[in-house]
Amino acid sequence: MEEYRVSAPAVLREPLVVPDKLLMGPGPSNAHARVLEAMSRPILGHLHPETLKIMDDIKEGMRYLFQTRNAATFCLSASGHGGMEATLCNLLEDGDVILIGHTGHWGDRAADMASRYGADVHTVKAAPGKSLTLEELRQAMRTTQPSVLFLTQGDSSTGVLQALEGVGPLCREFNCLLIVDTVASLGGTRFEMDRWEIDAVYTGSQKVLGAPPGITPISFNHRAVKRYMERRTKVKVYYWDLALIGDYWGCFGRPRIYHHTISSTLLYGLREAIALACAESLQSLITRHQDCARRLYDGLQALGFELYADERDRLATVTTIRVPKGIDWLQVAQHAMKTYLVEISGGLGPTAGQVFRIGLMGQNATSERVDRVLQVFQDSIKAVKPDFSFRRAAAKM
């Protein structure tokens, strides 16, 4: 028999090495031991009754966390980006007008995706570090007459929190659907899908929930499902088709179908992460994140650092700090990781090179970890620039 020309790699004869890091960036966050233990359990088939029961548990838990009774509540086998793809793919057809509220990088990403689905894309931009007002949204909607409005509740690139109350009724005035990205915000700030009349939402498993990335909770209300049913054309991507995935998840009262092979181990981890959040309760979970964010703000400002987002528009889960003049943010982040195994991130998109980002999510939203990241941040700044004066760190760039 002829020998294979490509040899097995020598590197795979070495043992797997995974360091234990404190993930204080914008996500993923550290997982609870119960989540990690659950993921070590045996793999099950994607249509085994035990797997379907776990999927049903997840649906119920996510209805609580989203504060919705929507039948079409399920998960995608994808990262949070999949939630953005799926909402846009299902609710847009060629030529449809979409208005994107831009408070950072994720507005840019949504615009790119929507254009690939053939939409007529318009953007309304907030001032740097600020959210959009209802009046700014109203004016933009009056001008563009969109069929879909897309907003990011918490933009992890800027640390900006977008207010949502009143936007749902505004969209109904314009016969417009409202899509909201809560990847970085759900569980760290208030969100009520039904009460606020939000038509489609998705979130990240790896942020406040503290599950692994790769499985994305999503929900569509009756208006969004009706828009889907009235489409003139098929959804362009089979993998994102809400009716097919919904039937796999048993959302519509029809027999379950095979859509794809879901990861049972990701389901275990997400199920336990949701169970932990439910046991804590939404109010307690949100309060814990808000309290830790205030502790972080106070600590940073006591050292003289300037926060990027306006005080009234700050996202509790991701804090953006202006990089002081004369500081190389990358060297600071590298020192924190190399010396302390603590992740502190730089900016993204419009904030690249301008800010540090510190995340407080899930297991990492505790006073002890706030104090830890503050100390590591201070020590890493000192290591990079020994003569740095912390009281003068707020000088604007």
Cross-strand partners of 318 = 359
Give the number of other CB atoms < 10 A from CB of residue 122: 17
Structure-block tokens of residue 376:
């590591």
Is the pTM for the entire model greater than 0.85?
A: yes
Residue range 169-189: mean pLDDT, rounded: 98
pLDDT at 84 over 80: yes
Cα 179-364-26 angle, rounded to 5 deg:
45
Give the number of other CB atoms < 10 A from CB of residue 81: 17
Instruction: Give tens-digit pLDDT for 322-348.
Output: 999 999 999 999 999 999 999 999 999
Amino acid occupying residue 352: A
* Residue-level pLDDT at 3: 87
Residue 124: its H or E element: strand 120-125
CB 104 within 8 A of CB 160: yes
Residue reference for tokens 């996500």: 27
Phi and psi torsions of 320, nearest 5°: -105, 130
Confidence grade of residue 207 (pLDDT, cut at 50, 70, 90): very high
pLDDT at 176 over 50: yes
CA pair distance 231, 233, nearest whole angstrom: 5
Residue range 163-181: mean pLDDT, rounded: 98
Averaged pLDDT of the chain: 96
CA pair distance 313, 315, nearest whole angstrom: 7
Structure-block tokens of residue 160:
């900006």
Q: Is the peptide bond before 28 cis (omega within 30 degrees of 0)?
A: yes
The DSSP 8-state label assigned to residue 307 in this structure reads B
Instruction: Give tens-digit pLDDT for 139-155.
Output: 999 999 999 999 999 99
Strands 72-76 and 216-220, how do they pair? antiparallel
CA pair distance 345, 326, nearest whole angstrom: 18
CB 150 within 8 A of CB 179: yes
Residue range 180-193: mean pLDDT, rounded: 98
* Residue-level pLDDT at 215: 98
Phi and psi torsions of 288, nearest 5°: -60, -45
CB 28 within 8 A of CB 183: no
For each of the domains in the chain, give its residue range(s) and CATH number, in order of start.
22-26+281-384 (3.90.1150.10), 33-278 (3.40.640.10)
SS3 at position 146: coil
* Residue-level pLDDT at 394: 42
Phi and psi torsions of 269, nearest 5°: -65, -45
Strands 22-23 and 342-343, how do they pair? parallel
pLDDT at 224 over 50: yes
Instruction: Give tens-digit pLDDT for 276-300.
Output: 999 999 999 999 999 999 999 999 9
CA pair distance 307, 314, nearest whole angstrom: 9
pLDDT at 392 over 90: no
* Residue-level pLDDT at 296: 98
CA pair distance 325, 304, nearest whole angstrom: 13
pLDDT at 92 over 90: yes
105 Cβ contact partners less than 8 Å away, ≥ 6 residues apart: 155, 156, 157, 158, 348, 349, 350, 351
Closest to 351 (Cα-Cα) out of 194, 86, 156: 156
* Residue-level pLDDT at 397: 31
Confidence grade of residue 393 (pLDDT, cut at 50, 70, 90): very low
382 Cβ contact partners less than 8 Å away, ≥ 6 residues apart: 388
H-helix segments, 40-120 = 49-66, 80-91, 105-116
CB 59 within 8 A of CB 65: no
CB 152 within 8 A of CB 107: yes
357 carries a ligand binding annotation:
yes
Residue range 105-110: mean pLDDT, rounded: 97
pLDDT at 264 over 60: yes
Q: What percent of the chain shows pLDDT beyond 90? A: 97
